[in-house]
Amino acid sequence: MENALINTNPGAIALNEIPVVDYNEFYDRCRSLLQHEQNHCLNYFGWPDGKKIRYFCLIADDKQHSIYVLSHVQPAGKTIQLKALSAEITAMQVFEREIHEKYGVDFTGHPWLKPLRYAFNRYDRSKTPTTYPFYSIASEELHQVGVGPVHAGIIEPGHFRFICNGENILHLEIQLGYQHRGIENLFVQHKALLQQAVLAEQIAGDTTIGHSVAYAGIAETLTHFAEPAPLGIIRSIALEMERIAIHIGDTAALCTDIAYQLGQISLEPLRTTVINTMLEWCGNRFGKGFIRPAGSHYYPDKKFLTLLRSNLNDISERFTEITARIYSLPGVLARFEECGMVSNEQVRQIGAVGMAARMSGLARDIRISHPSMAYKDTIISSVTFDSGDVLARGLLRKAEVIESINYIFRLIDQYNSLTDNKNLPEPDFNLSFRQNMLAIGLAEGWRGEICHTAITDDNGNIIHYKIKDPSLHNWMALALAVRKEEISNFPVNNKSFNLSYCGFDL
Amino acid sequence: MSVLIIIITAFFFPGIIGRTRSVLSGRKGPGLLQPWKNVWVLLNKSAVISSSGSLISHIAPSVILASVLASSVFIPVPGFTPLLSFRGDFLLFAYLLAIGRFFIIINAFDAGSSFQGMGAAREALFGLLIEPAFFLLISSVSILTGGISFNEFYRSLAMSQSLPLIALSSTFIIICIALIENSRVPIDDPKTHLELTMIHEVMVLDVSGPDLAFIHIANYLKFAIWGTFISFFAIPAGIDLWLKIAIFAAIQFSFAIIIGFIESFKARFRMERNSHFIITVSAVAMVIFIIILFS
């Protein structure tokens, strides 16, 4: 029996076309697929279907641009034991932890079977953040520093527990799950497409476009909507604008963390210009309301495209000048270079995606491997660095900003040269979805790979929705980065990743 | 009178630094007296004391302010005599400041939070490392002038119009000491919100109300004291009192502006590099000491 395959992004497959195999077979297939470097797991989750739970594992093949779908079924409502995939494929640990937490599956041989996010519908309600089994040490010489969950600034809740030897960190454990909103269930409860589109924008506020693009992909693939070229182009422009804005903002924040005032104050206005351009375009600085299923309200006119081009020109010029200065200043380099290194082997093991993978030589990019929208026809070049330190993450952001700006220029030219700019589709909220399908939408947000998955029932209603934010994997990269670092270097490392709490907690 | 002038100087110091930073970052910035308005607000609040706090938490902030105030009585502002002066008063001065440091450190431990111990350990280490620089500088000046109290130092330095090289390098050392003692960029970042990177700020996280105001005032005073030191090297004896005061004010003013400049254009060191930097400062002091010793 062959594995089921989805060849498009977004793509869908009928539930009855996905072969259900027994667990041992599933285990072997997953293992043999995931041993290849070109494959990685997009998502592995359970869907409670009556008295049984059906598990789906989605494995992306970066070379063939396809997605394997594997499935096995287990009884619901009781504790069962399964052999842990993570014993051999470490990157699976986070998915198996989630399944363990939600459905009580006891994975034998799992290296780190701890609660993940304390979902309200978890299997064992007696597990709470206060009973989290922290890794601990019994030593007179070492000491622990606990940070959070309430932080001094305006950031979201998360607890960081450091085990330190003097100033140096031996171990960092990050515990999240303080703000579970049950957003996946809200997708099931709210059937109207407009409600769902708005929900998708709220998954992680800094990745509004990224998550809504993934959702729109699902909605459209479930209705056979063919995205016209102009729509794909403007969505790609918006996605790149989000990337540019966040990368510039984070570069400024990196400067703040090392008290380099000049870098901070000269970059912050640039980010404002980017998001104000979005405001000009769609009435919201973060692009809320921009991405809607099956169309758009915001096809740009010539006047706006000219403004976009001139703003980006200006930003490109100033950004290049400022970052050239920042990344040549000895004081800054002394802080960034060889600080918080994550090796290529480590990012492979933890299954890092997006920026966190590319900073350490792992070229994982949905825009290249599973292109959608404008990325299918106009290839963007994906930048990678090898050193895996704070400097690599900084330089990666810099390179991505420049690449994204140039890419938008190319898209503007394309948009202008399109002749069939008449009768462009407006959003359609009355679409009905195909029945009994599993749909998947992938997008490369600024952090990395975003994966949405939906399952529809006999009436074409979504009965299960699964969201994966890149932060799910990448928090582990932060924990590894600060090992053996000084504890005072934690903030700058944290900022260099800038991971999402709400995207993780959902 | 000296003490009064130092207090007045301290009044403007933090405001000028803040304003310099603002202007250099293209912002208008708060008024010069904003830091003191903040202090006033704090003084009108009541203090909250950590539940694990003992007597130390109650008295430490007052002791810290008192120790800095007490140490300022030995410092002559050019043109005036200090309130108190005796042979070897610089030793008492140094150890009064050390008492302040000691109390801020045990006060940090007293609050019983894991952050504060971290800051206290850093403060203790850096305080320890900078002490040789101060004493080497004082010894050099002592050999150069033949005096053994602050007042004598000033008088002889003013008469002799010390070598520009010595004056310059001493100024450099004093600026570095001031940056370290007062926890400024590049050693520490007073504006940061990141507890894990703090030195001074993290130690006073649990201090509030008037207690916090006292610690702020003590810090501002320290700046003025170090600024007064610099003026020793620059103000000649034979000039009019008003001119002296004018030069003194100009020196304090530019001292604050220099610190503002450093904070605007420099990134912070890594924590481990701080020790290297501080030892380098002591090494420079050592060089001056040797030069003076053999010349």
Asked whether residue A231 is assigned to any structural domain, the reply reads yes
Q: Around Cβ B209, how many Cβ atoms within 10 Å? A: 17
The mean pLDDT value for B100-113 works out to: 90
Subunit contact A152:B193, Cβ cutoff 8 A:
yes
Average pLDDT, chain B: 89
Do residue A284 and residue A427 come from a single domain?
yes
Report residue B279 CA to chain centroid gap.
18
- pLDDT value of residue A471: 93
Do residue A287 and residue A410 come from a single domain?
yes
Asked if residue B90 lies in contact with residue B137, where contact means CB atoms within 8 angstroms, the answer is no
Q: Which residues contact A426 (CB under 8 A, 6 or more apart)?
A: A295, A296, A297
B21–A contact, CB cutoff 8 A: yes
Q: Which of A371-385, A416-430, B48-62 has the lowest mean pLDDT?
A: A416-430
Closest alpha carbon within chain B to A495: B194
A137–B contact, CB cutoff 8 A: no
Q: Which of B106, B239, B230 is nearest to B162 (CA)?
A: B230
B49–A contact, CB cutoff 8 A: no
Do residue A320 and residue A454 come from a single domain?
yes
Do residue A259 and residue A111 come from a single domain?
no
The mean pLDDT value for A407-421 works out to: 87
Residues from chain B that touch A264, judged by Cβ atoms under 8 A, are: 25
- Domain extent at residue A263: 183-468
Per-residue model confidence as pLDDT tens digits over A276-313: 999 999 999 999 999 999 889 999 988 999 999 999 99
* Segment 244-263 of chain A within 8 Å of chain B by CB: 255, 257-263
Q: What is the distance in angstroms between the Cα of A268 and the nearest Cα belonging to chain B?
A: 11
Q: What is the distance in angstroms between the Cα of B193 and the nearest Cα belonging to chain A?
A: 7
The mean pLDDT value for B212-219 works out to: 93
Q: Around Cβ A412, how many Cβ atoms within 10 Å? A: 18
Do residue A195 and residue A109 come from a single domain?
no
Do residue A245 and residue A99 come from a single domain?
no
Per-residue model confidence as pLDDT tens digits over B134-174: 999 999 988 888 888 988 888 888 777 667 888 888 899 99
Asked if residue A197 lies in contact with residue A292, where contact means CB atoms within 8 angstroms, the answer is yes
Asked if residue A358 lies in contact with residue A365, where contact means CB atoms within 8 angstroms, the answer is yes
Distance of alpha carbon A483 from alpha carbon B109, whole angstroms: 26
Task: Specify the 3-state DSSP secondary structure of A297.
Answer: coil
CATH number at residue A337: 1.10.645.10
Per-residue model confidence as pLDDT tens digits over A360-409: 999 999 999 999 989 988 889 989 999 999 999 999 999 999 999 999 99
Q: Which of A305, A162, A158, A138 is nearest to A234 (CA)?
A: A305
Phi and psi at residue A248, in whole multiples of 5°?
-65, -45
Q: Answer yes or no: is pLDDT of A154 > 90.
A: no
Do residue A460 and residue A380 come from a single domain?
yes
Q: What is the distance in angstroms between the Cα of A255 and the nearest Cα belonging to chain B?
A: 8
Per-residue model confidence as pLDDT tens digits over A47-68: 998 889 999 999 999 998 999 9
Task: Name the residue type at position A393.
Answer: R
Subunit contact B270:A486, Cβ cutoff 8 A:
yes
Do residue A253 and residue A344 come from a single domain?
yes
CATH number at residue A101: 3.30.460.80
Give the one of A259, A332, A335 whose C-beta lies nearest to B192's C-beta. Answer: A259
Q: What is the distance in angstroms between the Cα of B194 and the nearest Cα belonging to chain A?
A: 7
Which two three-digit tokens encode residue A158? Answer: 């998360």
Subunit contact B270:A259, Cβ cutoff 8 A:
no
Subunit contact A334:B191, Cβ cutoff 8 A:
no
Give the one of B185, B189, B271 whose C-beta lies nearest to A486's C-beta. Answer: B271
Residue of A169, A255, A260 best to disrupt the B interface, most CBs of B under 10 A: A260
Q: Which of A100, A6, A89 is nearest to A53 (CA)?
A: A100
B28–A contact, CB cutoff 8 A: no
Distance of alpha carbon A336 from alpha carbon A393, whole angstroms: 9
Q: What is the distance in angstroms between the Cα of B169 and the nearest Cα belonging to chain A?
A: 22
Do residue A359 and residue A226 come from a single domain?
yes
Residues from chain B that touch A154, judged by Cβ atoms under 8 A, are: none
Residues from chain A that touch B270, judged by Cβ atoms under 8 A, are: 334-335, 339, 486, 488-489
Report residue A313 CA to chain centroid gap.
28
A485–B contact, CB cutoff 8 A: no
ipTM at complex level: 0.84
Bin A104: left if φ > 0, else alpha if -120 < ψ < 50, else beta: left
Asked if residue A203 lies in contact with residue A211, where contact means CB atoms within 8 angstroms, the answer is yes
Q: In percent, how much of chain A has pLDDT > 70?
A: 99
The mean pLDDT value for A215-229 works out to: 91
A338–B contact, CB cutoff 8 A: no
Asked whether residue A140 is assigned to any structural domain, the reply reads no
Would you call A280 exposed, middle or buried from its count of C-beta atoms within 10 A (0-12, 13-18, 19+)? middle
- pLDDT value of residue B162: 61
Asked whether residue A156 is assigned to any structural domain, the reply reads no
Average pLDDT, chain A: 91
Asked whether residue A166 is assigned to any structural domain, the reply reads no
Subunit contact B24:A152, Cβ cutoff 8 A:
no
The mean pLDDT value for A489-497 works out to: 92
A267–B contact, CB cutoff 8 A: no
Q: Which residues contact A32 (CB under 8 A, 6 or more apart)?
A: none
Q: Answer yes or no: is pLDDT of A421 > 70.
A: no
The mean pLDDT value for B208-212 works out to: 92
Subunit contact B192:A487, Cβ cutoff 8 A:
no
Q: Which of B287, B280, B2 is nearest to B168 (CA)?
A: B287
Closest alpha carbon within chain B to A336: B270
The mean pLDDT value for A60-87 works out to: 90
Do residue A335 and residue A204 come from a single domain?
yes
- pLDDT value of residue A127: 87
Distance of alpha carbon B57 from alpha carbon B206, whole angstroms: 9
What is the DSSP code string of A154-215? Answer: S----EEEEEEETTEEEEEEEE--S----HHHHHHH--SHHHHHHHHHHSSGGGHHHHHHHH
Do residue A249 and residue A369 come from a single domain?
yes
- pLDDT value of residue B49: 87
Asked whether residue A365 is assigned to any structural domain, the reply reads yes
Assign B212 a pLDDT band (cuts: 50, 70, 90).
Answer: very high
Give the one of B24, B196, B269 whose C-beta lies nearest to A487's C-beta. Answer: B196
Assign A188 a pLDDT band (cuts: 50, 70, 90).
Answer: very high
Per-residue model confidence as pLDDT tens digits over B3-12: 899 999 998 8
Q: Answer yes or no: is pLDDT of B237 > 90.
A: no
Domains identified in chain A, total number: 2
Do residue A391 and residue A255 come from a single domain?
yes
Give the one of A167, A257, A261 whose C-beta lies nearest to B263's C-beta. Answer: A261
Q: Which of A501, A482, A380, A371 is nearest to A10 (CA)?
A: A371
Interface A-B: count of C-beta contacts within 8 A: 81
Asked whether residue A145 is assigned to any structural domain, the reply reads no
- pLDDT value of residue A467: 94
- pLDDT value of residue B62: 95
Token look-up 């050019």 returns: B78
Residue of A255, A257, A488 best to disrupt the B interface, most CBs of B under 10 A: A488
Asked if residue A179 lies in contact with residue A502, where contact means CB atoms within 8 angstroms, the answer is yes
Q: Answer yes or no: is pLDDT of B94 > 70.
A: yes
Token look-up 């359970």 returns: A46
Asked if residue A27 lies in contact with residue A5, where contact means CB atoms within 8 angstroms, the answer is no
Domain boundary among A92, A116, A140: A116
Residues from chain A that touch B191, judged by Cβ atoms under 8 A, are: 259
B123–A contact, CB cutoff 8 A: no
Asked if residue A94 lies in contact with residue A77, where contact means CB atoms within 8 angstroms, the answer is no
